Amino acid sequence: MKNKKFIIGGIIIGAAVIVLVILGLKTSLTPYYEVAALVSKGSAVYDKTVNVGGEVLPGIERNVSLAEIKFQIVDITDGVTTLNVVYHGSQVPDTFKEAAHVIIEGKYTSQGIFEANSITTKCASKYIPATTTGASK
């Protein structure tokens, strides 16, 4: 008897949370690719929002008058496959620089250019307590 309300309450809340979780996952799951995997997918992933992870190559071009940054990232595993990325905006983390490992959200376009919505950096073996993401809240 004692446990009955507990169990019913638990089931109702559990069910509600599961519904929320499923709905949430449906709207916020984004595929993640390494550079090589994304490039090999080609047209299959054009204009879909995806995340791509790679390492920033030297030669970051910043065009201040357009608030634009152009750079290349290379596949971390094979070290060969590269991807051209363009980002418009002003939310670039301080840790974004050459050789930084980044995760970029955006769309791969048929021109072979990745249009970034946000740039997140990952600092290998350095303790960064909070995120330095360039995305909005």
Which of the residues 53 through 82 are near another protein (CB under 8 A)?
53, 62, 64-67
Rounded Cα–Cα distance for residues 102 and 79 (Å): 14
Q: Give yes or no for residue 9 binding another protein (CB under 8 A).
A: yes
Q: Give yes or no for residue 14 binding another protein (CB under 8 A).
A: yes
Q: Which is nearer to another protein, 50 or 72 (CB)?
A: 50
Q: Give yes or no for residue 7 binding another protein (CB under 8 A).
A: no
How many alpha carbons lie under 13 Å from residue 88 in its C-beta half-sphere?
4
SS3 43: helix
Q: Give yes or no for residue 46 binding another protein (CB under 8 A).
A: no
Residue in the structure block whose two tokens are 């992933």:
45
| Pair of tokens at residue 36 | 């090589």
Q: How many residues bind another protein (CB under 8 A)?
A: 57
SS3 87: strand
Interface pick for another protein out of 77, 91, 109, 111 (rule CB under 8 A): 91
